[in-house]
Chain A
């Protein structure tokens, strides 16, 4: 089974994924972890239409600036398979 890593911004609304890694400084990593965005956590994209991305994790809705969101890498959840090509 191939495990394709996708940046959070490349997932579309309604898709879910499990956080793989976050490539950013310790400060931001800690802040994200406290809000439920840490490796191993399952998150769902609620809004991703340009500008900040809104996700839901642990029952909490969080808006994340696009720059930060692009540094969060996910493994897309299998349940939401669709025929989309490799996202840009």
Chain B
């Protein structure tokens, strides 16, 4: 029997317990990141080889419990119930064991054997918490492996436990929580009523617990499965005991307390933790807000100071590469060399030159996230986010938008409610990304010379104000309803884990490069064709024709058809508009800086920049917006909204400048 055994293992854990660190160690570079089928929740999978055994590890979404009230929790429990993994690993935080045991109390009811990875034992020790692992094992009746994942301790032992559990460990005899005694009889009556009808693969204990919790999904399933009179009987019992949920929760906490009492002792009580000392400053508005602004300003400043020159360097490299390629395509028809040089190298290549800027920006952000600061930033920003109808959690994805809108839209997944997630995605394109800022800088420098920094900053400020205004408007118009609940854990601060940070940066950059290589590449080629056929030059092309068609509209906002065309091409990638302006005005050797001032008035330039910054985002962002919104209505609505806002702003900028006598 040479063929090795294959095991399916689910990795579960609440947020901030070091689960992703464990996953990264177990699977290394074998991990594959995708989506759960039909969901906008990330699914990570990887393989861990242990001797003859191949262990497939599926990282379940971080979940505090297994209710039906959040998509992550539903996915986690559906996976366990339907895929029946051979073993479940629960990563627990030793410094807050009660909380981790809550999730365990739910997992144990599902069936598959569970092994507890008791992580962060070093943190617990620092806090004066000592855990007697032997008695913890005894009172839980399941294997427990103490770990310090950040130092790679305990991982091998964890893998051994998986193998031994999967081959039927005789010592596996879990103690499971019971419903609190005042509802014990209700529980037993319900078990008796439903046990004959519980559909595969549910089990009666779990199903009844969920019924008592008022779980809508399980209730619907059971209604289907039970005969009408039985279901009515069940419904009557549940209605008569409205407080069943509390009895379930109470039972769990009694179970937790008994376990904690038998195996955890805490000395050094009442000590003030470093986290609380830092928070004393960081989450107080007087200090917290200026510090946050300072940190963010530093991140942006450092990103552009360091990343800007590198980007410029890469850009000239891409240009010389294009010139270098040209002689190799002598016999090729014009359209082939055109597509390769202008489309592939010029289009997708230019987008890739933003790579260093994004690398630096994402590194800062991932670092701040990892050490625990971003949760505080979200907390401090919470009250401002309320103005636009969001709360603190939306701040992180939106700030990511300053780098690139694509990961920002994807990042909106951390927002709990669908309503808030939709609004976050809706507003993200109003965050000026790297590429838009690049166009802004170049055009402002060419037209406004010495005043360029002032103009640039004012436009960014106005842009942010419009973002706030749009949020208020969207919230009033399309999102009437309950204010969204805000509950967020503030994790302990800890030393940065560079492995985790590295993987976060890697995943975000890959998302960007993949899009540059597929969507943007495809559209770059398409746009090249549109701008070179049938006439061969952009003036006599479909695109030029389209530009002229919408040209008259430009009269309201002070743009000629060339600028309108530049705006249209910005849909592929924002910096394309610079290239289009260059081609259409035939700047050639003279350079944009010398030609632009003679063809673009100050008022037109302001209008052009205002429109560009608020215009429909680049195609890559539009594609992910559609995916993540999962609704045509919202998607179309947001495109129309952006078009209206950008046109209105362009018109306002143009007319205001004319009135103020800005030539």
- Mark A residues whose CB is within 8 Å of B: 26-36, 38-41, 46-47, 49-52, 54, 58-65, 67-68
Contact partner of B486 among A26, A40, A47, A52, CB < 8 A?
A52
Q: Distance in Å from the Cβ of A29 to the closest Cβ of chain B?
A: 6
Say whether, besides A30-B67, A63-B379, A35 and B99 are in contact (CB < 8 Å): yes
On chain B, the residues within 8 Å of A68 by CB distance are: 485-487
Find out whether the CB atom of A28 lies under 8 angstroms from the CB atom of B65: no
Q: How many A-B residue pairs have CB under 8 A?
A: 116
Q: Does B64 touch A at the CB level, under 8 Å?
A: yes
Flag if B279 contacts A46 (CB, 8 Å).
yes
Contact of B488 with A63 in the complex, beta carbons under 8 Å: yes
Contact B490 A59 (CB under 8 A): no
- Given A30-B69, A35-B489, does the pair A60, B96 have CB atoms closer than 8 Å? yes
Interfacial chain B residues near A52, Cβ < 8 Å? 379, 382-383, 392, 486
Name the residue of chain B whose CB is nearest to the CB of A52: B382
**Interface contact B487-A64, CB-CB below 8 Å:** yes
Given contacts A59-B99, A60-B99, 4 further A-B contacts (CB under 8 A): A34-B99, A36-B102, A38-B246, A61-B275
Question: Quick one: which of B245, B276, B285 contacts A49, CB cutoff 8 A?
Answer: B285
If A49-B284, A63-B487, A65-B486 touch, whether A36 touches B67 (CB-CB below 8 Å) is no
- By a beta-carbon cutoff of 8 Å, the part of chain B in contact with chain A is 64-65, 67, 69-70, 95-99, 102-103, 127, 213-214, 245-246, 249-250, 252-253, 275-276, 279, 283-285, 379, 382-383, 391-392, 483, 485-492
Pull 19 A–B residue pairs with CB atoms less than 8 Å apart, ordered by A: A28-B487, A29-B245, A30-B69, A30-B249, A34-B64, A35-B99, A35-B487, A38-B246, A41-B253, A46-B279, A51-B382, A58-B96, A60-B489, A61-B490, A62-B490, A63-B489, A64-B487, A67-B485, A68-B485
Which residues of the other chain, B, contact A31 by a CB distance below 8 angstroms?
Answer: 64-65, 67, 69-70, 485, 487
- The smallest beta-carbon distance between B651 and chain A, in angstroms, is 38
Which residues of chain A are within 8 angstroms of B214 by Cβ–Cβ distance?
Answer: 26
Structural contact, B64 and A35, CB atoms closer than 8 A? yes
In the assembled complex, which residues on chain B have CB atoms less than 8 Å from the CB atom of A33? 65, 102, 249, 252
Cα distance, A60 to B372, chains bound together (Å): 13
* Distance, CA A49 to CA B283, complexed state (A): 10
Most B C-beta atoms less than 10 A away, residue of A46, A59, A62: A59
CB distance from A79 to the nearest CB of B (A): 11
Residue of B383, B392, B486 with highest tally of chain A CB at under 10 A:
B486
Q: Is the CB of B98 within 8 A of A58?
A: yes
Q: Are B487 and A27 interface neighbours, CB within 8 A?
A: no
Other-chain contact of B284, A47, A60, A62 (Cβ < 8 Å)? A47
Whether B213 lies near A30 (C-beta < 8 A) is: yes
Contact among A30, A50, A58, A63 with B490 in the assembled complex (CB-CB below 8 Å): A63
Q: Which of B253, B279, B391 has most chain A Cβ within 10 Å?
A: B253
Could you tell me if A40 and B250 are in contact, using CB atoms closer than 8 angstroms?
yes
Closest to A51 in B: B383
Do A39 and B490 have beta carbons less than 8 Å apart?
no
Are A65 and B490 CB-contacts (below 8 A) given A39-B246, A52-B392, A60-B96? Answer: no
CA distance A62 to B486 in the complex (A): 10
B98 in contact with A27 (CB, 8 Å): no
